[in-house]
Amino acid sequence: MADATPLRPLPAAEATWDRTADVVVAGYGIAGVCAAIEAARAGSRVLILERTSGWGGAAALAGGFIYLGGGTPLQKALGFEDSPENMEKFMLAALGPGADEDKIADYCRGSVEHYEWLVANGVPFKAEFWGEPGWEPPHDEGLMYSGGENAAPFNTVAEPAPRGHVPQMSNKRTGSKGGGYMLMKPLAETAEKLGVTAEYDVRIQRLIVDGDRVVGVVAKQYGKELDIRAEHGVVLATGSFAYHDRMIEGFAPRLIGRPGAAIEEHDGIAIRVAQALGADLAHMDATEVAFFGDPQMMARGILVNGRGQRYVPEDTYPGRIGQLTLFHQENQAYLIIGEAAYEQSLTTETSTPFFRQPPTWAAETIAELESDMGLPELALQSTVELYNKHAVDGKDPLLGKKQEWTKPLEGPFAAFDMRGFTAGFTLGGLRTDLDSRVLHVSGEPIPGLFAAGRCTSGVCAGGYASGTSLGDGSFYGRRAGIAAAKN
């Protein structure tokens, strides 16, 4: 089916310029705001085109993790040692296979400076650490493990250091704004102070070219087409393609019917307008995968697949549980937990009370449970028997769950049906270089065209850690602004 928009670039000779700026940024989320700030600081007149009625994008609705490390002042203040090399080791192990090694090295080397830049631009981080398993800190703590750094197998690959930096919220529980909002707000205010202008309810349609060079963008506002001239460059930053059905079906079919953690405006338009110019793509199948289980409960139980087999250390980053469940276990997962441990998880201060649900099954014995759940005969019994034999000694040779969480399962038992408990957003997109220049399929940059954020392929390929998306979006958003201004 054809798109409503033609996508093919408009020759500059046919454009009737309605607006002009030095740098035109499409999308006012995390990548767009960072690009705008840096371009404005470099002396450019910057115009942001935003599809919705206000700044924010997916970032403002997100938990707000920014993946930073290598020894940030926050890490140091909280007593955690880290280095760019150590951070790089983890990211290469956790975000591949096929992750962009140059980008990861670059990102790790620039991480401390990037933290300082965010702080200098008003983003607040509270020097408090949250050490419990969970998706996000429950209050306004500023630092947390967010990628399984302290769990098997990564805790044997690199020295564990928490790198999930969360902008400080006033009080999350009373319904005030979350970390992502507290990231976007000071940055949007900074942009405004620098004279960045924004137009809202504007959708980009296609690029305007002069020969091979991008010199503007056609956008639509209230039904009217606008030809917007970019004297120095266009920065694409309109987010993922999680809500473009044809792209999901063609590139990331495991997400069919389960887009999540992105906003519906994420329609892949930046990717498509650049593809129409011959832009190259990368890792279009890569996705973040959320898993709607309570980490406090999961750590205290065992997760099994549709065959009743364990497959992931239950105390790791829940996003990793999500990926391994969706990618490798056909989205089949069950949590088995002893009643006492289940009760304990409910009274623990946990970050994700909304993931709590009543057990799907309950039984005195694993044999009963196995039969009630319809698992293959003897399979769950075999799994629990093996788990318990080692758990008596606090050991988990099969998967390396940490000793503190490894205790024998004791009846009566509860089991939770977690099949299909996943949703996610896409991580693949335009191939860009370290200056956020969009690369043509020939490998050469497309003159005048820059991109950052989730319309690009960033530091992730097969894996994910919370904060890498706002992380590389902000990091390479800045690069895009700098490069476009200079262009």
State the residues that interact with its own copies by CB under 8 A. 1-3, 5-8, 96-98, 212, 246, 249-251, 253-254, 256, 272, 275-278, 280-285, 307-309, 327-329, 376-379, 382-383, 385-386, 389-390, 397-399, 431, 440-444, 457, 461-462
**Shortest Å, Cβ 218 to its own copies:** 14
- For residue 451, the minimal CB distance to its own copies (Å) is 15
User: Left if phi > 0, otherwise alpha if psi is -120 to 50, otherwise beta: which for 57?
Assistant: left
Burial string for 134-145 (b: 16+ CB within 10 Å, else e) reads bbbbbebbbbbb
The continuous run of DSSP H or E covering 479 comes out as helix 468-486
CA angle 282, 426, 234 (to 5 degrees): 65
DSSP assigned state of 154: G
CB of 14 to its own copies, least distance (A): 13
Is 37 or 207 the residue whose CB approaches its own copies more closely? Answer: 207
Tell me which residue of 426, 152, 417, 421 sits closest to 311, measured CA to CA: 152
Count of residues for the chain? 487
Q: 434-469: buried (b, 16+ CB within 10 Å) or exposed (e) per residue?
A: eebbbbbeeeebbbbbbbbbbbbbbbbbbbbbbbbb
Question: By C-beta, is 194 or 379 nearer to its own copies?
Answer: 379
Least separation in angstroms between residue 281's CB and its own copies is: 7
* Residue placing its CB nearer to its own copies in the complex, 20 or 371: 371
User: Residue 369 phi/psi, 5° resolution?
Assistant: -60, -50
- Least separation, in Å, of the C-beta of 465 and its own copies? 18
Quote the least distance from Cβ 211 to its own copies, whole Å. Answer: 11
Min. distance of Cβ 280 from its own copies in angstroms? 7
Q: Toward its own copies, which CB reaches closer, 7 or 340?
A: 7
Are 95 and 461 in contact, with CB atoms under 8 Å apart?
yes
Tokens of 246: 């044809």
The continuous run of DSSP H or E covering 84 comes out as helix 84-95
Pairing of the two strands 445-451 and 437-439: antiparallel
Given the complex with its own copies, which of 68 and 333 has the nearer CB atom? 333
Number of H helices, E strands in the chain: 14, 21
What CA dihedral angle connects 151, 156, 160 and 163, to 10 degrees? -70
Choose between 250 and 353: whose C-beta lies nearer to its own copies.
250
Please state the closest distance from residue 422 (CB atom) to its own copies, in A. Answer: 13
Looking at the Cβ atoms of 19 and 431, the one nearer to its own copies is: 431
CB 424 within 8 A of CB 288: yes
Q: Which is nearer to its own copies, 206 or 478 (CB)?
A: 206
CB of 109 to its own copies, least distance (A): 21
Between 128 and 212, whose beta carbon lies closer to its own copies? 212
Q: Smaller CB distance to its own copies: residue 134 or 428? A: 428
Q: What is the DSSP string of 350-415?
A: -S-GGG----SEEESSHHHHHHHHTPPTTHHHHHHHHHHHHHTTT--TTT---GGG-----SSEEE
Residue 480 tokens read as 């895009």
Nearer Cβ to its own copies (5/344): 5
To the nearest whole angstrom, how small is the minimum distance from the Cβ of residue 34 to its own copies?
Answer: 24
Minimal distance, residue 263 CB to its own copies, in Å: 22
